[in-house]
Homo-oligomer: A and B are copies of this chain.
Amino acid sequence: MKAKPMDTLTARRTGQDRTVASERVAQFEIRYTQFLDEEGRPRCELPPFAHDPELLVSLYEHMVLNRLFDRKAVALQRTGQLGTYPSSLGQEATAVAIGAAMAREDVLLGTYRETAAMLIRGVEMREILLYWGGDERGMAYAGPRAPKEDFPISVPIATHAPHAVGVAYAFKLRKEPRVAVCVVGDGATSKGDFYEAMNGAAVWRLPVVFVIVNNGWAISMPRHAQSAAATLAQKAIAAGIEGEQVDGNDTIAVYDAMRRALDKARAGGGPHVIEALTYRLSDHTTADDARRYRSAEDVERHAALDPVKRLRAHLVQQGMWSAAKEEALHAECGARVEQAVREYLATPAREPASMFDHLFAELPEALRWQREELSAVERETNDE
A323 in the interface, Cβ–Cβ < 8 Å? Answer: no
Q: Determine if A102 and B6 form an interchain contact, defined as CB atoms under 8 angstroms apart.
A: yes
Question: A101 to B100, alpha carbons, bound, how many Å?
Answer: 55
Contacts of A2 in B (CB 8 A): 54, 58, 61
Taking a contact as CB atoms closer than 8 A, the residue among B14, B193, B238 that contacts A49 in the complex is B14
* A315-343 contacts to B (CB < 8 Å): 329, 332-333
Q: Determine if A48 and B12 form an interchain contact, defined as CB atoms under 8 angstroms apart.
A: yes
Taking a contact as CB atoms closer than 8 A, the residue among B4, B33, B234 that contacts A28 in the complex is B234
Taking a contact as CB atoms closer than 8 A, the residue among B145, B205, B256 that contacts A228 in the complex is B205
Contacts of A28 in B (CB 8 A): 27-29, 234, 237
A314 in the interface, Cβ–Cβ < 8 Å? Answer: no
A255 CB to nearest B CB, Å? 8
A7 in the interface, Cβ–Cβ < 8 Å? Answer: yes
Q: Determine if A62 and B5 form an interchain contact, defined as CB atoms under 8 angstroms apart.
A: yes
Q: Determine if B14 and A47 form an interchain contact, defined as CB atoms under 8 angstroms apart.
A: yes
In the complex, what residue of chain B is closest to A205 when comparing beta carbons? B228
Contact A13 to B49, CB < 8 A, known contacts A1-B332, A44-B20: yes
A163 in the interface, Cβ–Cβ < 8 Å? Answer: no
Contacts of A99 in B (CB 8 A): 6
Q: Determine if B33 and A18 form an interchain contact, defined as CB atoms under 8 angstroms apart.
A: yes
A294 in the interface, Cβ–Cβ < 8 Å? Answer: no
Q: Determine if B100 and A3 form an interchain contact, defined as CB atoms under 8 angstroms apart.
A: no
A260 in the interface, Cβ–Cβ < 8 Å? Answer: yes
User: Which of A196-204, A279-287, A352-360 makes up part of the contact surface?
Assistant: A196-204
Q: Determine if B26 and A27 form an interchain contact, defined as CB atoms under 8 angstroms apart.
A: no
A229 in the interface, Cβ–Cβ < 8 Å? Answer: yes
Taking a contact as CB atoms closer than 8 A, the residue among B17, B32, B101, B225 that contacts A6 in the complex is B101
In the complex, what residue of chain B is closest to A65 when comparing beta carbons? B1
A57 CB to nearest B CB, Å? 9
In the complex, what residue of chain B is closest to A162 when comparing beta carbons? B192
Contacts of A239 in B (CB 8 A): 227-229
A15 in the interface, Cβ–Cβ < 8 Å? Answer: yes
Contacts of A45 in B (CB 8 A): 15, 17, 20
Taking a contact as CB atoms closer than 8 A, the residue among B8, B196, B227 that contacts A203 in the complex is B227
Contacts of A27 in B (CB 8 A): 27-30
In the complex, what residue of chain B is closest to A197 when comparing beta carbons? B192
Q: Determine if B15 and A48 form an interchain contact, defined as CB atoms under 8 angstroms apart.
A: yes
A25 in the interface, Cβ–Cβ < 8 Å? Answer: yes
Question: A27 to B33, alpha carbons, bound, how many Å?
Answer: 15
In the complex, what residue of chain B is closest to A203 when comparing beta carbons? B228
Contacts of A112 in B (CB 8 A): none
Contact A228 to B245, CB < 8 A, known contacts A5-B55, A47-B15: no
Q: Determine if B30 and A25 form an interchain contact, defined as CB atoms under 8 angstroms apart.
A: yes
Contact A245 to B20, CB < 8 A, known contacts A1-B329, A1-B332: no
A230 in the interface, Cβ–Cβ < 8 Å? Answer: yes
Contact surface of A with B, Cβ cutoff 8 Å: 1-10, 12-18, 20-35, 43-50, 52, 54-55, 58-59, 61-62, 65, 99-104, 120-122, 145, 190-196, 199, 202-203, 205, 225-231, 233-241, 244-245, 253, 255-256, 259-260, 263, 270, 329, 332-333
- The 5 A-B residue pairs with the shortest CB-CB distance, nearest first, are A192-B192, A15-B47, A20-B44, A228-B240, A14-B259
Pick 6 A–B contacts, CB within 8 A, sort by A: A1-B332, A5-B58, A6-B101, A15-B46, A18-B31, A192-B195
